[in-house]
């Protein structure tokens, strides 16, 4: 898995402090131990130290080098509660509510990042995606100049049957349900920037549709065309095609027939789906039937990295997400 090795090596160059909200989950503990031992991040586990220590002992791993933060006894809890109240008072939050929320491991982890006590955060092994996204938006906040917070999956095609062997970014597979043209353009531009940090070649972007080069006339297609024009105006140097079908985006001989003036030439490595239905189904087909490795969803557009795990994630999934979050924090 060449691209994953590249990401891990990049994380090692300048390890960042990554806080894991579900520090009392054995998968999280095992991933943090590996990430710490291999020098890709300075891991912080949120939870009860006794519980975390007992779980680590059960599987025979060391917590050396791993910091544990207990919201119930933290000396920072008071300051975090005041910070949270400052953020949410206009929405009706009281100091009592803020003090109660600080005891929640997810909110505590996000408040650590907001305060600068950690560089990025990961949750979702037990918390729902809705919980993770909501807390990140409310506490960590949206980066300046960003209108649409979105997400992508890093898709790795390196199995024996994959040709060519490559990594791609799929977006938005998790957050924006039905983006308008402006939002779709925002997603494409944000994912392009993410691709520039992660992929080993220049981004080549396909704005996907059931139409290629105007072969169909429908409002769904019009949205993709409009979004593509916005992207081209904002980044004239970017190789981007849209509206374009998946086969034309990936197969040079097909795009030559369907879109002779293609910018991607059938070598797209960033796929922008028209809505969440298509994106979520698409990445899962590639993962479950196609044998691709899917890492994500990785959020983009926040002030600091805050990423969401699947509740069915493995220790290895969490380990790779730690590396990805560390690389985001470097950028």
Number of domains present in the structure of the chain: 2
Domain CATH number, residue 50: 3.40.50.10950
- Residue 282: which residues within 8 A CB-CB, separation 6 or more? 170, 173, 271, 273
Q: Per the confidence metrics, is the pTM higher than 0.75?
A: yes
Does residue 293 lie in a domain region? no
Which structural domain, as residue segments, surrounds residue 282? 150-288
Residues 6 and 137 in one domain: yes
Does residue 102 lie in a domain region? yes
Torsion of the alpha carbons at 237, 242, 245 and 250, rounded to the nearest 10: 0
Residues 130 and 229 in one domain: no
Q: Which two tokens stand for residue 247?
A: 């086969």
Residues 130 and 234 in one domain: no
Does residue 297 lie in a domain region? no
Residues 20 and 100 in one domain: yes
Residues 137 and 203 in one domain: no
Residues 60 and 89 in one domain: yes
Residues 191 and 281 in one domain: yes
Using alpha carbons, list the distances in angstroms from residue 33 to 28, 36, 77, 152, 206: 9, 5, 25, 26, 38
Residues 112 and 159 in one domain: no
Does residue 263 lie in a domain region? yes
User: Average pLDDT in the 22-39 region?
Assistant: 96
Does residue 280 lie in a domain region? yes
Does residue 96 lie in a domain region? yes
pLDDT digits (tens, 9 = 90+) for 72-91: 999 999 999 999 999 888 88
Residues 11 and 94 in one domain: yes
Residues 66 and 176 in one domain: no
Residues 12 and 100 in one domain: yes
Under DSSP, is residue 157 helix (H, G, I), strand (E, B) or coil?
strand
Does residue 296 lie in a domain region? no
pLDDT digits (tens, 9 = 90+) for 107-160: 999 999 999 999 999 999 999 988 999 999 999 999 888 889 999 999 999 888
User: Average pLDDT in the 214-243 region?
Assistant: 93
Report the pLDDT value the prediction gives residue 93, as an integer from 0 to 100: 85
Name which of 86, 85, 133 is nearest 106 in CA terms.
133
Whether 275 shows a pLDDT value over 70: the answer reads yes
Report the pLDDT value the prediction gives residue 276, as an integer from 0 to 100: 96
Does residue 185 lie in a domain region? yes
Under DSSP, is residue 319 helix (H, G, I), strand (E, B) or coil?
helix
Residues 257 and 311 in one domain: no
Domain CATH number, residue 265: 3.40.50.10750
């Amino acid at each position: 898995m060449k691209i994953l090795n590249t990401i891990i090596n990049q994380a090692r160059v300048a390890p960042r402090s990554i806080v894991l909200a579900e520090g009392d989950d054995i998968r999280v503990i095992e991933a943090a131990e590996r990430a710490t031992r291999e020098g890709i991040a300075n891991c912080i586990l949120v939870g009860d130290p006794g519980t975390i220590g007992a779980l680590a002992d059960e599987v025979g791993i060391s917590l050396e080098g791993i910091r544990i933060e207990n919201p119930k006894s933290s000396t920072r809890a008071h300051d975090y509660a005041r910070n949270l109240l400052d953020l949410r008072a206009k929405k009706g939050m009281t100091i009592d509510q803020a003090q109660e929320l600080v005891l929640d491991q997810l909110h505590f982890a996000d408040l650590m990042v907001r305060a600068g006590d950690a560089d990025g955060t990961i949750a979702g092994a037990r918390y729902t995606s809705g919980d993770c996204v909501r807390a990140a938006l409310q506490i960590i906040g949206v980066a300046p100049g960003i209108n649409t917070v979105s997400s992508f999956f890093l898709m790795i095609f390196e199995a024996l049957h994959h040709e060519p062997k490559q990594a791609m970014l799929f977006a938005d597979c998790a957050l924006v349900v039905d983006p308008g043209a402006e939002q779709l353009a925002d997603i494409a531009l944000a994912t392009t920037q993410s691709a520039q940090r992660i992929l080993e070649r220049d981004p080549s972007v396909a704005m996907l549709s059931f139409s290629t080069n105007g072969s169909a006339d429908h409002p769904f297609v019009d949205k993709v065309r409009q979004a593509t024009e916005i992207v081209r105006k904002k980044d004239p140097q970017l190789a981007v095609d849209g509206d374009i079908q998946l086969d034309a985006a990936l197969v040079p001989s097909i795009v030559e027939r369907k879109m002779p003036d293609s910018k991607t030439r059938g070598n797209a490595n960033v796929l922008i789906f028209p809505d969440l239905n298509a994106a979520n189904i698409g990445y899962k087909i590639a993962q479950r039937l196609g044998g691709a490795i899917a890492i994500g969803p990785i959020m983009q557009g926040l002030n600091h990295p805050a990423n969401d795990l699947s509740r069915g994630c493995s220790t290895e999934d969490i380990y790779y997400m730690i590396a990805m979050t560390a690389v985001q924090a470097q950028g």
